[in-house]
């Protein structure tokens, strides 16, 4: 996955194209023609002028230049490398594996590399030490805390930046650094370097992208969280698409090295799955997006999209390059000393986007056992919404980030505020239709009342007590296609942040607990009854997936072809009780 150091979920990765080792499957099942790229055609997808035929074995000589496809340093893509039983690769073996993998990536992508790509290894502890605590200034960390708290993913007493460090430090299996033109593979501590060939193929594709498009160009760094994830949709999407086809060829007719055994990805570390599932979105949706682009316009369509990356995760989720976005306009009217962070985000604001919003609601089911997305279904069924994707990849499972509650996203701006030691935020959202806005508003109210003890009174500031991970006061306003959420430590603080809001303080008008418009039904959606987690959250039978994803059952055995191994998501697999599957 690609992260940029100036962005909230990116800082720890230091401008590297990173791959999360979150694969977990029993093997690769290839479709008969998956990844098959005949020398004179584009395989799946139209034949276009940018498709370059691969060289024959007879044409592949060590002295040939970089114009040949499927041949690198005299190694032809149809050759094989067999190192036998080893305790890791030495430098000569690593160089041979890199040459073969570059030739094969060229063949699959139908484009030659322009230069060699150095490949190095680093231990997981070294990587974690190098990348931890790199999340910017104290102002940024405080600002970013409010972003993830607003998403109900990181609680009030938890440091979001430490949670992000944990995800990246424990779940990254390799990265390509555009600024240094090199690949670094993260290997387990105490073991000789051994490399998953699919990881290498994925990262080499990033190197190829850099050679043709220059990944240091500002267009490949989104200005917001949603923008950065959207850009990753094409960057990671192309890498996963190529890696998929590469793995399929390994399962079909290539001789490929086995993926290394061992954990390779966190050693059973616990992750915040709200953060993890947010940053994973470009891998699945992006690969499907690229597959459709290529099916319709060949590699030329992928190149064009690389030159003009997606603007929002909504575009990638719905695989619609013409997705219509809106425009949030929010005037800062805060009083009593509240101020924004003008030097953070975009003039103080973050755009979370559709992917992050979906994860917000889904995470309440996984972590807290509240059925928010579908209040009529059980907690288990609400968790399963994320796992039931209509479209699938050939070699891996993928996640669903589309739901009627968030499908109508058009724009959002989240402004963290500070006032001495008090924190708050105003989150303005815009939706395609009034019905979309109402659906989001109602789900948000369900989430509030699930964490709180009281019914929701429409037009009244709502309070959540200190027992919750998200205490404080919340004001929710809907006006047509706009929904604005305001949070402060106290009800009075909400009206200080939004003095013109049409909101009453609690009990100011003799609150009778009614919700005014019939949407404040959150008290029926918490875990107090049988449908909301009583029989779905104990984990006693090992298949319900509602124990909050604690990751305590950290089985780290097993490895897979791909760009990672089981450890990073084995805790989630245990929590969800899933069959072996793959997510990268």
304-354 pLDDT tens trace: 999 999 999 999 999 998 898 999 989 999 999 999 999 999 999 999 999
Q: Phi/psi of residue 388, each to 5°?
A: -100, 85
135 pLDDT exceeds 80?
no
pLDDT of residue 523: 37
DSSP symbol at 31: -
What's the rounded Cα separation, in Å, for the pair 229 and 278?
9
- CB-based contact 249:396 (threshold 8 Å): no
584 pLDDT exceeds 70?
no
Cα separations in angstroms, 466 against 126, 304, 345, 484: 38, 51, 29, 23
Other Cβ atoms closer than 10 A to 480: 11
Higher pLDDT among residues 47 and 501, named by residue: 501
Calculate mean pLDDT across residues 379-385. 97
Task: Provide the mean pLDDT of the chain.
Answer: 78
Most confident option among 80-94, 198-212, 354-368: 354-368
Calculate mean pLDDT across residues 498-522. 63
This prediction has a pTM of: 0.81
Task: Choose among 259, 107, 238, 126: nearest CA to 184.
Answer: 126
Calculate mean pLDDT across residues 509-538. 39
Q: What is the pLDDT of residues 226-242, one digit of tens each?
A: 999 999 999 999 999 99
What's the rounded Cα separation, in Å, for the pair 303 and 463?
50
Confidence category of residue 578, pLDDT binned at 50, 70, 90: very low
Q: What is the pLDDT of residues 418-470, one digit of tens each?
A: 999 999 999 999 999 999 999 999 999 999 999 999 999 999 999 999 999 99
pLDDT of residue 461: 98
pLDDT of residue 188: 78
Rg over CA atoms, the chain = 24
Any idea which of 2-6, 69-73, 440-444 has the lowest mean pLDDT?
Answer: 2-6
542 pLDDT exceeds 60?
no
Higher pLDDT among residues 569 and 360, named by residue: 360
pLDDT of residue 543: 37
Helix crossing, 225-252 with 197-213: angle to 10°?
A: 130
- CB-based contact 288:281 (threshold 8 Å): no
Confidence category of residue 173, pLDDT binned at 50, 70, 90: confident
Confidence category of residue 197, pLDDT binned at 50, 70, 90: confident
What's the rounded Cα separation, in Å, for the pair 301 and 318?
17
32 pLDDT exceeds 50?
no
- CB-based contact 154:142 (threshold 8 Å): no
pLDDT of residue 475: 98
Higher pLDDT among residues 126 and 453, named by residue: 453
- CB-based contact 163:144 (threshold 8 Å): no
Sign of CA dihedral 272, 156, 125, 267: negative
Percent of the chain with pLDDT over 70: 73
Confidence category of residue 112, pLDDT binned at 50, 70, 90: very high
Q: Phi/psi of residue 577, each to 5°?
A: 65, 40
288 pLDDT exceeds 50?
yes
Confidence category of residue 126, pLDDT binned at 50, 70, 90: confident
**Do the strands 75-76 and 71-72 form a parallel or antiparallel pair, or are they unpaired?**
antiparallel
Confidence category of residue 73, pLDDT binned at 50, 70, 90: very high
pLDDT of residue 396: 62
Higher pLDDT among residues 541 and 17, named by residue: 17
The pair of structure tokens assigned to 463 is 């309070």
274, 276, 278, 281: CA torsion to nearest 10: -140
């Amino acid at each position: 996955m690609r992260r940029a150091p100036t962005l909230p979920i990116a800082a720890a990765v230091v401008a590297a194209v990173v791959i999360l080792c979150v694969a977990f499957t029993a093997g690769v099942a290839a479709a008969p023609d998956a990844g098959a790229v005949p020398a004179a055609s584009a395989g799946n997808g139209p034949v276009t002028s940018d498709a370059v035929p691969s060289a024959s074995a007879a044409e592949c000589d060590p002295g040939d230049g970089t114009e040949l496809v499927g041949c690198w340093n005299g190694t032809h893509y149809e050759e094989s490398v067999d190192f036998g039983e080893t305790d890791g690769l030495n430098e000569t073996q690593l160089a041979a594996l890199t040459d073969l993998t570059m030739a094969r990536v060229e063949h699959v992508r139908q484009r030659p590399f322009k230069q060699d790509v150095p490949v190095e290894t680093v231990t997981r502890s070294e990587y974690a030490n190098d990348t931890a605590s790199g999340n910017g200034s104290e102002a940024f960390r405080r600002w970013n805390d409010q972003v993830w708290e607003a998403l109900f993913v990181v609680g009030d007493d938890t440091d979001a930046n430490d949670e992000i460090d944990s995800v990246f430090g424990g779940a990254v299996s390799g990265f390509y650094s555009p600024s240094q033109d090199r690949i670094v593979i993260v290997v387990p501590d105490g073991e000789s370097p051994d490399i998953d060939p699919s990881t290498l193929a994925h990262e080499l594709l990033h190197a190829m992208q850099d050679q043709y498009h220059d990944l240091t160009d500002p267009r490949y760094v989104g200005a917001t969280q949603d923008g950065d994830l959207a850009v990753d949709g094409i960057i990671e999407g192309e890498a996963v698409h190529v890696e998929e086809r590469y793995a399929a060829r390994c399962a079909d007719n290539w001789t490929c090295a086995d993926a290394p055994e061992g954990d390779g990805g966190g050693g059973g570390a616990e992750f915040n799955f709200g953060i993890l599932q947010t940053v994973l979105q470009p891998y699945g949706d992006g690969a499907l997006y690229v597959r459709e682009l290529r099916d319709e316009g060949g590699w030329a369509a992928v190149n064009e999209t690389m030159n003009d990356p997606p603007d929002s995760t909504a575009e990638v989720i719905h695989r619609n390059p013409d997705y219509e976005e809106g425009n949030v306009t929010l005037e800062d009217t805060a009083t009593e000393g509240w101020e924004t962070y003008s030097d953070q985000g975009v003039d103080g604001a973050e755009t979370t986007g559709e992917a992050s919003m979906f994860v917000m609601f889904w995470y309440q089911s996984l972590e807290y056992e509240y059925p928010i997305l579908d209040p009529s279904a059980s907690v288990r069924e609400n968790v399963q919404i994320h796992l039931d994707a209509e479209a699938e990849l050939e070699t891996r499972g993928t996640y669903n980030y589309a739901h009627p509650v968030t499908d109508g996203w058009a724009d959002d701006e989240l402004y963290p505020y500070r006032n001495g030691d008090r924190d708050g935020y105003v989150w303005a959202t815009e939706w395609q239709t009034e019905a979309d806005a109402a659906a989001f508003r109602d789900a948000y109210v369900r989430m509030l009342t699930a964490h709180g003890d009281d019914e929701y009174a429409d037009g009244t500031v709502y309070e959540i007590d200190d027992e919750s991970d998200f205490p404080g006061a919340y004001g929710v306003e809907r006006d047509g296609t706009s929904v604005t959420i305001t949070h402060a430590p106290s009800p009075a603080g909400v009206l200080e942040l939004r003095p013109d809001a049409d909101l009453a303080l609690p009990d100011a008008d003799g609150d009778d607990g009614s919700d005014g418009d019939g949407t404040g039904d959150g008290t029926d959606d918490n875990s107090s009854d049988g449908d909301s987690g009583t029989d779905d959250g104990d984990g006693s039978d090992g298949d319900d997936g509602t124990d909050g994803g604690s990751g305590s059952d950290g089985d780290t055995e097993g490895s897979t072809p791909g760009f990672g191994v089981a450890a990073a998501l084995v805790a989630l697999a245990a929590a969800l009780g899933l069959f072996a599957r793959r997510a990268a």
